[in-house]
Structure 1
Amino acid sequence: MIEPNQINPLALKVVAPSQAVDETDQRKKELICERCSGNDFVKRRKSTQGYQIYLCIGCGRHLTDSPPKYTPTSPEMEYFKNVWDCRNFGVESRVGKYQYKLNFSSIQPEWLLKSTKQFIRYSLSNVGLSSCSARLEAIKHFSLFLVEQYPSIKPESITRDIAIHFLSYIAAKNLSASWRCHTIGALRIYFEACIINDWIPFRRHLIRHEDFPKRSKSIPRFIPEEVMTQLNQYLPELAEPVQRMILVLQDCGMRISELLLMKYDCLSQDKSGDWFLQYHQFKMKKDITIPISRELVGVIQEQQRYIREALLDSFKYLFCANESGSRVSCGAFSASPRPMSATAFSKMLNDLGEKHSICNAAGDRWHFQTHQFRHTVGTRMINSGVPQHIIQRYLGHETPDMTAVYATIHDKTMKQEVSKFHDKIVNISGQIVESDSPNVDTADLQWFKHNIQAQALPNGSCALPIIAGECPHANACLTCTHFRTSGQYLDEHKKQLDQTKQLAESAESKGWNRQAEMNRKVQASLENIIKTLEG
């Protein structure tokens, strides 16, 4: 169903269910479809509120001829209500969510209600609607505390002791340290604003720095590889626009609000032919540009073609909502000219997970949250050796501390780093060799010797198992892919390198090209091995 504030102006006239049939038919002629601009409709059933539902013959879209839920009024008139529609203060809701209301009805006593309205109206001018809503919730908890503990208190009687009592009050609720920090922080901002603006004569320093509980270190909520593999396996079952949304999240790690309101013209290309993605970070209130792969460019260009074919040119976003919300059966998707909600997107994702019982390695059913994709991208980049300041810029973080949340090192990455200070097991290319055995508790060289019965050599080991038969490359270990060695043989390699250089030079001086070529290959392998073992 079309959001009321998106209906064509001609469709805003209210038609009461009791009106005559001829007026209803005349009303039908006045409707215009926002998707195809058609005006040929047939009547369907009536809504539960008694309003007529029409079907567009041109594109199959349904439209309900209902009055608008939003009634514009002046900010001064809105201020005196106990439930605000913030659109009357010129405030837009967060993208992907249709939350416009702030409810002050439960706040007592009267002096607290009055000052809270002043504070929230001031907050609407400098922070987002979601932040104002969080501040209001904090004051509601303080209001409940006062009603229960100090029902007749005056603002000038609120002392530091009462503030400490409130801290104990919320601590007893066994809520997270993060929630308590947000509540205490919002109250401190409220108290300070009241003092500075002479709204309430509170005493100073009611909330102090030491009042904030210590937060536990944030652990990145990344999606395990086994879960991501299962998700991608069943991805084709989702509608193609939803598939593309997930692919963009997997590659770029943006916040869900940034994905939902990404502009249609989001791609740019430099003179070298490389592609970049541009989008707006609502949390940081800034635009960001990141490099992307050509594969992702193809995905985005497919979505651009879909939007232009399905919707009018006036639709300015890359992704749109589904006509029937999150109810997508067999990959069906009917484009609706409004951004998709975060709730609908999450439901599609988790419906797929529930259908196929997507689980982690422990066998627990995985519940997808959109922000997990952001944590996954950050963690993958950390474990791929990308410098932290590059990740900070890629994800659009303001401080290194925000990026440090993702600095969780996987076991494989940790082994590679620790091997820099211990014996490395390397091949002829100087690459560190990993063992996939879950029972490894010694060096890889020992693993090769004892677990797969690899053959020991004077300067390393051969990864070709004994059971595979005799080696077909006698005396050619340093040009063989099965060769493995470690730091304990470093001196032997250096001696052999000197000898090999002399042999290669001697062969070249005598014109023995074949012998010179073979020795240069051995020399290159030894140089790679020594460089890695000494690195």
Structure 2
Amino acid sequence: MFLARPADRPAVGCCRYPDGCVYPISSNDLCEGHLYRWQRVGKPALADLPSAVRDRVTPGFSVDGLPPLLTLEFQYLLQVRTDERASRILQATWGCVTRLALTEGVSSLRDRTLDQWRGRASQDPTVRGLLGTALRALADLDRPEDEYEGDVWRPEHLGFSIEERRGVSALNFTAITQEWLRDKAKRWTKVKLGHGELRTVQSQVAVFKCFSRFLAHAYSDRQDDPTVLDRAVLETYVGWLHRHVNDNKAGRGRGKPFSAETRIRHLSTMADFFAYWHRYGWEPALSPTTRIFTDDYPRRSGLKANFIDEYLMEQIESEENLALLEPETRTMVLICRDEGLRIGEALTLKTDCLKQTPSGRWALVHYKSKDKSFRAIPASRVVVEAIREQHQRVLRRFDDGCPWLFPRAQMNPDGRHHMTYTTITRRFDAWLSRIRLVDIHGRPARVTWHQFRHTLGTRMANAGVSGRTIREVLGHTSWEMQEHYSRISDETLRREYEEKYEVRFNLKGEAVRVRRDSDLSAVEWLAEKIGRRLHAVAGGWCGRHIARPCPKTAADGCYVCEDFQTDQKFLPIHEDTLLRARELQATTEAAGRTRAAETNARLADSVEHLIIRITDEESDLRARTPDADKPDHTRTEGAADAS
């Protein structure tokens, strides 16, 4: 075998690195290694190269040579980035920014606008990002102490939790050019923040921006006078909305007219705004005709069926395809498939999201942004196992310092940030491309996280689960969602169910009860309603989660399934099954079929164990109610007297 050897380099001298180097030079009187280091630290004089290399290896950020005010600004920038705990500052980036400030000869970073700094900076995005962070941090120092007095309201400064402000940017009123409209919009928004959902309020602020553009376009000469508002103006606004093309939104809706749903949202927001103006007597007083009525709304389009086709679900649920997912995203897929959580609710799950009920069931506790509360829903066994494994991965990465089940992958040294929607969706879409998801016609298909939620509801409805139960499981607050699914019993039905206090037995012969005195009794009840399938098995009920198909075909196979439940109503069936199993056991033993005999023996033992537990429980119930079989003489005598 012939091995190529590098050509000998001409000996033109040794490296002139001050601390000594015996390697031959390549250019600039330095060897290749020291030439690379010299370039990385900014090409200082050779005499300063050793100290520059040491400073690069040892963390440190110098502000030498900067004017006093500029020094304080850079020191404040370091403190802000330290408090954010999002990403570290590279020393090379720090050096580029400080040298740029010295070159410009400014006494403060605020002597230039952000666009001017970015125009003078290098193409390195980290340099531009650091300059942007510095100017925003300095601008925050001039903000009023009360966040509501400014034109940009940041949710984190308004007291909203991480779960509430997830995916919500600042409420920005600066695009509302009419001062009177901006002041009134801020006043109305402040009221709405007290009882509304932050995400909804953010979309309503966008409605005011659109109304401001309408006034500037249709009434440019009178837009600064609030008395311009009357019924005629609002009728013009209704027509303008119908013709208006969406020019303020990226994505599929850009360049298209507003949909009926969007126009309804705009009109309902402005109708409520004018109603508040009239009700609370804001100055100046509006004309009594300044109102928007429901008759002005366009006809609402029907709700679309947004579930995932079962042909696609077969590909998604394939164990072979799921094995191609990295564990974190696979856990997310299982949670959205089996529990029907919104993707935002799943992203903000805590590491302690699993709670166990007194009967041994597992509940998944999550934050519901719609009504600002934590709620618990039944968790499938597959989801419980996946969450436990994900929790272990989080512990290995952050020890016990991360509260999130899905922490952010980057810029998260302390685990204080949860994963973003963009990251999890990018991973999911990449996996769909990898498995080549196609529809029944062979065309490439794409699904979204929210479609898993609709798919679960559709599967439950098709399996005969009560439509009201579906509503409770999915946490719907709007009755319009009845058009999607059928829906859970109210408190009256639940009370009637609990009063029956049914006793069931699982495969181990353990009694399964629903306890009314438990904090998680609602979860147990929901699990019972979801688990009881209408295609009842031959001796009880199937407790398997509705999103997971049954892997068995033979009815007797249920006796060896851990999801099987039964009670005393099915005692005759169990006794018949026991008799047949013993007969088959004797027949197969006589024929020398050892394996079949062992199978029937195990089945007979399981059924016999269930029968013993059922009869024992029934005897205990009779013992606890000794007067249950005695006639009620008082009632009989009373009835006789009445007759």
Task: Calculate the aligned-residue CA RMSD, in Å.
Answer: 3.8
- The corresponding residue for 1:138 is 207
Q: Which moved more, 1:43-52 or 1:196-205?
A: 43-52
- The corresponding residue for 1:338 is 417
Would the aligned equivalents of 1:278 and 1:289 in 2 still touch at CA under 8 Å?
A: yes
Residues 1:239 and 1:17: Cα distance change in structure 2 (over 3 Å): farther
Q: Structure 1 residue 46 and structure 2 residue 129: aligned? A: no
Shift of 1:300: 1.3
1:103-158, CA deviations, whole angstroms, 9 ceiling, x for partnerless residues?
Answer: 22221322112212222233222223322221111111111111111121432232
Secondary structure at 1:276 match in 2: strand
Q: In structure 1, what is the Cα distance between the partners aligned to 2:272 and 2:462?
A: 39
1:503-534, CA deviations, whole angstroms, 9 ceiling, x for partnerless residues?
Answer: xxxxxxxxxxx9xxxxxxxxxxxxxxxxxxxx
Q: Structure 1 residue 87 and structure 2 residue 170: aligned? A: no
- The corresponding residue for 2:349 is 262
Shift of 1:185: 1.0
Q: Structure 1 residue 277 and structure 2 residue 364: aligned? A: yes
Secondary structure at 2:385 match in 1: helix
Q: In structure 2, what is the Cα distance between the partners aligned to 1:75 and 1:124?
A: 19
Residues 1:126 and 1:210: Cα distance change in structure 2 (over 3 Å): same
Residues 1:309 and 1:68: Cα distance change in structure 2 (over 3 Å): farther
- The corresponding residue for 1:157 is 228
Shift of 1:244: 0.6
Q: In structure 2, what is the Cα distance between the partners aligned to 1:210 and 1:176?
A: 17
Query: Where do 5+ consecutive residues of structure 2 fail to align?
Result: 1-59, 67-73, 100-125, 245-256, 488-537, 539-586, 588-643
- The corresponding residue for 1:180 is 263
- The corresponding residue for 2:448 is 369
- The corresponding residue for 2:471 is 392
Greater helix proportion: 2
Q: Structure 1 residue 406 and structure 2 residue 485: aligned? A: yes
Residues 1:214 and 1:93: Cα distance change in structure 2 (over 3 Å): farther
Q: In structure 2, what is the Cα distance between the partners aligned to 1:289 and 1:42?
A: 41
Greater strand proportion: 1
Amino acid corresponding to residue 195 of structure 1 in structure 2: H
1:437-487, CA deviations, whole angstroms, 9 ceiling, x for partnerless residues?
Answer: xxxxxxxxxxxxxxxxxxxxxxxxxxxxxxxxxxxxxxxxxxxxxxxxxxx
1:360-405, CA deviations, whole angstroms, 9 ceiling, x for partnerless residues?
Answer: 2233432332211111111111111111111111111235432432
Q: In structure 2, what is the Cα distance between the partners aligned to 1:214 and 1:357?
A: 39
Would the aligned equivalents of 1:389 and 1:400 in 2 still touch at CA under 8 Å?
A: no
- The corresponding residue for 1:114 is 183
The structure that has the greater radius of gyration is 2
Would the aligned equivalents of 1:93 and 1:129 in 2 still touch at CA under 8 Å?
A: no
Would the aligned equivalents of 1:96 and 1:342 in 2 still touch at CA under 8 Å?
A: no
Shift of 1:210: 1.0
Secondary structure at 1:106 match in 2: coil
Q: Which has the higher contact order (CA 8 A, sep 6+)?
A: 1
Q: Structure 1 residue 244 and structure 2 residue 331: aligned? A: yes
Q: What aligned pairs does 1:3-42 form with structure 2 within 5 A after superposition?
A: 18-19=63-64
- The corresponding residue for 2:301 is 216
Q: In structure 2, what is the Cα distance between the partners aligned to 1:51 and 1:375?
A: 53
Shift of 1:226: 2.2
Residues 1:47 and 1:211: Cα distance change in structure 2 (over 3 Å): farther
Residues 1:49 and 1:381: Cα distance change in structure 2 (over 3 Å): farther
Q: Structure 1 residue 102 and structure 2 residue 185: aligned? A: no
Q: What aligned pairs does 1:118-517 form with structure 2 within 5 A after superposition?
A: 118-151=187-220, 152-153=222-223, 154-173=225-244, 174-200=257-283, 201-204=285-288, 206-233=291-318, 234-323=321-410, 336-406=415-485
Q: In structure 2, what is the Cα distance between the partners aligned to 1:171 and 1:297?
A: 49
Shift of 1:43: 6.4
Residues 1:73 and 1:383: Cα distance change in structure 2 (over 3 Å): farther
Q: In structure 2, what is the Cα distance between the partners aligned to 1:257 and 1:136?
A: 21
Q: In structure 2, what is the Cα distance between the partners aligned to 1:168 and 1:388?
A: 39
Residues 1:68 and 1:42: Cα distance change in structure 2 (over 3 Å): closer
Amino acid corresponding to residue 155 of structure 1 in structure 2: P
Amino acid corresponding to residue 233 of structure 2 in structure 1: I
- The corresponding residue for 2:32 is none
Residues 1:68 and 1:280: Cα distance change in structure 2 (over 3 Å): farther
Secondary structure at 1:237 match in 2: coil
Would the aligned equivalents of 2:144 and 2:150 in 1 still touch at CA under 8 Å?
A: no
Amino acid corresponding to residue 260 of structure 1 in structure 2: L
Q: Which moved more, 1:356-365 or 1:180-189?
A: 356-365
Q: In structure 1, what is the Cα distance between the partners aligned to 2:458 and 2:338?
A: 12
Q: In structure 1, what is the Cα distance between the partners aligned to 2:313 and 2:286?
A: 53
Residues 1:74 and 1:146: Cα distance change in structure 2 (over 3 Å): closer
Residues 1:83 and 1:224: Cα distance change in structure 2 (over 3 Å): same
Q: In structure 2, what is the Cα distance between the partners aligned to 1:195 and 1:370?
A: 42
Shift of 1:272: 2.5
Residues 1:129 and 1:272: Cα distance change in structure 2 (over 3 Å): closer
Q: In structure 2, what is the Cα distance between the partners aligned to 1:283 and 1:266?
A: 19
Secondary structure at 1:46 match in 2: helix
Q: In structure 2, what is the Cα distance between the partners aligned to 1:89 and 1:49?
A: 36
Shift of 1:178: 0.5
Amino acid corresponding to residue 363 of structure 1 in structure 2: G
